[in-house]
Amino acid sequence: MDSFLNVFWLYLPAFLANGAPVVIRHVPGFRNWNTPLYASLLGTNKTWRGMISGIIVGALTGGIQFFFSDQWVWIGMTWGALLGFGALVGDAVESFVKRRLHIAPGKALPIWDGIDYILGALLLGAIWYVPSWQEILFLLILAPLLSLLSNIGAYFLKIKDVWY
């Protein structure tokens, strides 16, 4: 059980980075900062605001984690930024696939929705750490469950228009 809690803690920057774009778009001063990354390939919902906010949230999360574990903060910030970037790249890859399949923005791509970001974080995070297959399986099960719970919460907080 400790291994699963540790890997969740280690990948927390990716989980928080994945949710950052949804929250940050409602923060005054950031609402109009919504230039798409590459509208023709990813649609208009993947923005520079989302990418940058996810990387920053990942970096801050990693920095705070490493600070409280008596390790070098800059290593934690680098790890967190790497996971945040990986999570958002994973999400962007899913958007690319959805556009090719003519799935509307905001609509789910079964199975892939919810694991896209953790796959991206796992791939980029493998530069520094390769989890065991059990830990990977745990993250692949946990990620869609946490995504669903956070989407439901965001829906009830009126941050998102749909709960899934």
For residue range 1-51, list pLDDT tens digits in order: 688 999 999 999 999 999 898 888 777 777 677 888 888 888 888 889 899
DSSP code of residue 47: B
Tokens read off for 70: 């008596």
Instruction: Report the C-alpha gap between 14 and 79 in whole angstroms.
Output: 10
162 pLDDT tier (thresholds 50, 70, 90) = low
55 in a structural domain: yes
Q: Is residue 161 part of a domain?
A: no
d(CA 136, CA 149): 20
Residue 164 lies in a domain: no
Contacts 24+ apart (CB under 8 A), 7-10: 7/131, 7/135, 7/138, 7/139, 8/138, 8/139, 8/142, 9/65, 10/129
Domain encompassing residue 43: 2-156
**Inside any domain, residue 38:** yes
If pLDDT is split at 50, 70 and 90, which confidence band does 93 have? Answer: very high
Question: Is 94 contained in some domain?
Answer: yes
State pLDDT tens for residues 50-91. 999 999 999 999 999 988 887 788 899 999 999 999 999 999
Asked whether the CA dihedral 101, 107, 112, 116 is positive or negative, the reply is: positive
Tally of structural domains, the chain: 1
In the block, which residue shows the tokens 């950031």?
30
